[in-house]
Every structure is written in C-alpha cells, then in structure tokens.
C-alpha cells in the first residue's frame, strides 16, 4: 500500500468537530478530550446503544451541541460546516448488532456514505472508526494493516464485519474520486468506564458477573486470545491519527495478548470474587486469536498504549461496581426501545448547550 498524505486536521481546525456515536462508550470519552482541547463539538447519536448519561459531564458546556439523529437517515439541515468528522456511530457489541443486523449494516454503509458526503461538502477530514473485525477470524498473527482478512460474508457477524469493510471501501472511494482526506482507525477490543453491563462484551460481562457473585461465562474453552486497550489510550490514538497526515488504515489496540481464561482470573482476583467459571459453546465465527501489530501506530503516530491491564481493569471495576445493577435494568429497557429510534426518522436537537 502506498501511504497517501493529506493535510493534518485537528491542529488547524477552528471549525466545529462532528462526533457521531457521541453518547457511546468511546465517543463520550472522545467528546470530553475534544472539549478539553478547546474544540467546539457537535455530538450526534440516536441513543440506540449509547446513553445521555455518558455526556453528563458536558451537558452544560457552551462548546457542545447535541443532535439526536440516526445517521442512516438523511442528515438534518443546518448542521454547521465541520472541519473534522469522527464517525463512531455503530453498535459495537455482538449482542447488539446481531439483534439488529439490518440497521447495523445500514449504519455502516448508508450512514457512512451520508457523512462522507457531508465531509465532501464542507471540506472536512473524515475519520472512520473501523475494527479488528475487518480481519474476520484471522489466519495471520499478529494482524498487520496489510492483511486482507478472513471474514465470513454471510455469517451472524457479517452485518458488522462486512458493514465495516464496506465503510472502509467507501472512505477510499471518496479519497480516490473526490480527493477527500480520510483516516481509518482499526480499533481492537477497548474497555474502560462506560462499558455497559449486559451488552455482551467479555470485560464487562466478567466484571458484572464477578461483582454479583455469579459464575463467569466462558465461551469455548477460554484459550482464545484477545488484546485489551484501555479507553484513554484508544482516544489518544484517535486524536493522534486525526492530528496526523496519515491516510492509510492504522491498527489501534494493545498488543499484549491474553487468553479469556487469564482475563477471568484477573477479574476474579481484582474483584475478590471466587465465582466459578461456566463454559458455553463458542459462538459461530468467533475469532480464535486477536492481536494487533501496532508498528504503524508506533512509527507514524508515535503512539503506544500506556495503561496496564490491571490498572485499567481496576478503574472499570470501580465504575461498574457503582452502576452494575441499575444500569442493567436501563440497558434492557433501552434496547427494546431502540428499534423505534433506528426506524424513527426524527431529528431532535435535544440540547443546544449555550
């Protein structure tokens, strides 16, 4: 691949920055960092898997405007011309996206297309939050950006994996045809405060189960590996990528590889739980190994993860300890309401914070 340079976005960005998926886990942390850096932020979300509470700290901030909208629907009139767009809108947990595969696919394809058009119209730099899932169940370890992947185009995860692959292809189609400045961040498992209990991600599942004294559910034999990147490290990398002039895909993740069994042991130790493990069949197309090659991020962005797993887990446990049970109830209520949000062609600028 030939790296194509395009102008760095954020340092010269005096126009608003649009963040989609802003009420989600990663998006809300990103909005906070952008506000800290002095940007004006348009935070857009349809609340299908995110929650308004995640943006609570910014609710009264004069430089944050919230727009409630589904990106798969025509974008609202009157969005200010943005200098940079971070497209994070998409359910990330398998439990969520597998329940709404059509909406997931449309979010990554039609939604991304709408935002790319917006970027083209306003001359914004466009960053797509992609995923390690573009590598599917990889046959090459660790995964380097040059690997094309081993994804099942018709399996239960395909709405997410292929949607994200299509979104990447769309980004580069816009770069080739329209000269758009694009950034593609391939995120590997990210964890931290604001992970929602019960959404099926392994870190929050284990913590919530351990705190409740329930058995920890391990899928397969638990020897499959994952790498876990703390959310502040992930957000720092997203900002560094937008700040850079690098327009090829970049892996963002922690290269330390852990088996799911090791993670279960760490969570039990850090929560002081003696919960037993229960084993369930491995879901279809669940990747066996997952580990990023972060050589590009190291050399181009001068980035590497800094938060050790035990430190990040302790912060996540603290967060979930306070919220586990009430949030679990809200999550189920929200998720059942989500199809209304996804289908409802409403725009509600619920909050102009100034």
Ligand X SMILES: NC(=O)c1ccc[n+]([C@@H]2O[C@H](COP(=O)([O-])OP(=O)(O)OC[C@H]3O[C@@H](n4cnc5c(N)ncnc54)[C@H](O)[C@@H]3O)[C@@H](O)[C@H]2O)c1
Q: Closest approach of Cβ 20 to ligand X, in Å?
A: 6
Q: How far apart are the first and last CA of the chain?
A: 45
Task: Report the residue number, 39 or 54, with the smaller CB distance to ligand X.
Answer: 54
Task: Report the residue number, 16 or 24, with the smaller CB distance to ligand X.
Answer: 24
Q: Pick the catalytic residue: 97, 160, 174, 191?
A: 160
Whole-number Å distance between alpha carbons of 334 and 325: 15
Q: Is the dihedral of CA 207, 213, 219, 222 positive or negative?
A: positive
Radius of gyration of the chain (CA): 19
Q: Closest approach of Cβ 213 to ligand X, in Å?
A: 26
Q: Closest approach of Cβ 22 to ligand X, in Å?
A: 7
Say how far residue 117 (Cα) sits from the centre of its chain. Answer: 21
Task: Report the residue number, 46 or 233, with the smaller CB distance to ligand X.
Answer: 46
What is the Cβ-side half-sphere exposure of residue 277, based on CA atoms within 13 angstroms? Answer: 16
Task: Report the residue number, 5 or 348, with the smaller CB distance to ligand X.
Answer: 348
**228 token code pair:** 């876990």
Q: Closest approach of Cβ 143 to ligand X, in Å?
A: 13
Q: Closest approach of Cβ 113 to ligand X, in Å?
A: 12
Burial (CB count <10 Å: 0-12, 13-18, 19+), residue 117 = middle
- Active-site annotation holds for 219: no
Q: Name the site residues for ligand X (rule: CB under 6 A).
A: 20-21, 23-27, 45-50, 70-72, 88-92, 107, 111, 129, 131, 187, 189-190
From the list 270, 277, 297, 6, the residue with the least C-alpha distance to 124 is 6
DSSP label of 254: -
Alpha helices per DSSP H over the chain: 25-36, 94-99, 101-106, 112-122, 158-178, 202-211, 231-243, 260-271, 295-301, 309-343
Whole-number Å distance between alpha carbons of 43 and 67: 6
Residue with tokens 């790319």: 116
DSSP label of 15: S
Task: Report the residue number, 48 or 247, with the smaller CB distance to ligand X.
Answer: 48
What phi and psi values does residue 171 have, to the nearest 5 degrees?
-55, -45
Helix axes 231-243, 25-36, angle to 10 degrees: 60
Task: Report the residue number, 13 or 159, with the smaller CB distance to ligand X.
Answer: 159
**176 token code pair:** 């080739």
Task: Report the residue number, 106 or 317, with the smaller CB distance to ligand X.
Answer: 106
Q: Closest approach of Cβ 72 to ligand X, in Å?
A: 5
CA distances from 185 to 34, 131, 138 (A): 17, 7, 18
Q: Closest approach of Cβ 49 to ligand X, in Å?
A: 4
Q: Which residues are catalytic?
A: 160
């Amino acid at each position: 691949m030939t790296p194509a340079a395009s102008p760095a976005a954020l340092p010269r960005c005096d126009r608003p920055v649009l963040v989609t998926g802003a009420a989600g886990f990663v998006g809300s942390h990103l909005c906070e960092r952008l506000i800290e850096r002095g940007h004006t932020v348009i935070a857009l979300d349809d609340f299908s898997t995110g929650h308004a509470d995640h943006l609570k700290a910014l609710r009264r901030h004069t430089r944050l405007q919230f727009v409630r909208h589904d990106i798969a629907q025509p974008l609202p009139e009157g969005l200010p011309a943005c200098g940079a767009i971070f497209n994070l809108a998409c359910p990330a947990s398998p439990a969520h996206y597998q329940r709404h595969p059509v909406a997931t696919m449309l979010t990554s394809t039609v939604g991304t297309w709408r935002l790319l058009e917006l970027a083209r119209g306003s001359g914004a730099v466009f960053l797509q939050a992609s995923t390690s899932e573009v590598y599917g169940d990889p046959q090459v370890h660790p995964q380097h950006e040059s690997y094309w992947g081993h994804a099942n185009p018709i399996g239960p995860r395909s709405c997410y994996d292929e949607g994200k692959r299509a979104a990447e292809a769309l980004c580069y189609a816009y770069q080739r045809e329209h000269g758009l400045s694009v950034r593609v961040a391939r995120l590997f498992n990210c964890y931290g405060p604001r992970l929602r209990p019960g959404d099926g991600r392994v870190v929050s599942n284990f913590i919530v189960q351990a705190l409740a004294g329930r058995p920890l559910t391990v899928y397969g034999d638990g020897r499959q590996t994952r790498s876990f990147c703390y959310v502040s490290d992930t957000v720092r990398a997203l900002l560094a990528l937008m700040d850079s002039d690098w327009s090829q895909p970049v892996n963002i993740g922690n290269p330390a590889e852990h088996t799911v069994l090791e993670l279960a042991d760490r969570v039990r130790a850090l929560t002081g739980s003696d919960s037993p493990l229960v084993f369930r069949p491995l879901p279809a197309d669940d990747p066996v190994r997952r580990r990023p090659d972060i050589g590009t991020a190291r050399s181009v962005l001068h980035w590497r993860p800094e938060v050790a797993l035990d430190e990040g887990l302790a912060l996540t446990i603290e967060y979930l300890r306070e919220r586990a049970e009430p949030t679990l109830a809200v999550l189920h209520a929200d998720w059942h309401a989500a199809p209304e949000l996804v289908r409802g062609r409403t725009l509600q600028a619920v909050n102009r914070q100034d």
